[in-house]
């Protein structure tokens, strides 16, 4: 189970949690992920703290709650609906991998 739950650390998701996809991914998700990806791309330091500050800044600017964006973000990067801190996961994966995963999720999930 541990290997399966942590597979996203070593492999780009090839499928996405259906329950989370059905509940949380909608017509607003792809544009939000594109916005986040552009902001992440502009970060000079892709650290957990910088990613978190960027994410929270986006939420504040757009007047969105975490629940509106967080689950779609997690789904795009990990393929899962739950797990450890997304900011830490993103820092471990690195900017290029995170941006590629967001792009793939937008392509696959619409």
Token pair of 82, please? 């739950």
Cα 12 to Cα 18: distance, rounded to the nearest angstrom: 17
Its CATH architecture, for the domain 12-109, is: Orthogonal Bundle (1.10)
* Confidence band of 67 (pLDDT split at 50, 70, 90): very high
Whether residue 110 has pLDDT greater than 60: yes
CA-closest candidate to residue 23, choices 62, 84, 64, 68? 68
pTM of the model: 0.91
User: Lowest mean pLDDT: which of 2-11, 26-35, 43-52?
Assistant: 2-11
To the nearest 10°, report the CA torsion of 3, 41, 18, 23: 130
Helix-helix angle 95-109:66-78, to 10 degrees = 100
Cα 24 to Cα 36: distance, rounded to the nearest angstrom: 16
Cα 71 to Cα 21: distance, rounded to the nearest angstrom: 9
């Amino acid at each position: 189970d541990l290997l399966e739950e942590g597979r996203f650390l070593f492999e780009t998701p090839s499928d996405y949690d259906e329950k989370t996809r059905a509940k949380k991914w909608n017509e607003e998700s792809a544009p939000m992920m594109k916005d986040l990806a552009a902001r992440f791309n502009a970060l000079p330091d892709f650290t957990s703290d910088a990613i978190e500050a960027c994410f929270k800044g986006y939420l504040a600017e757009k007047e969105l709650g975490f629940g509106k964006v967080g689950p779609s973000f997690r789904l795009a990067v990990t393929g899962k609906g739950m797990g450890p801190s997304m900011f830490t996961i993103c820092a471990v994966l690195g900017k290029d991998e995170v941006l590629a995963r967001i792009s793939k999720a937008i392509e696959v999930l619409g």
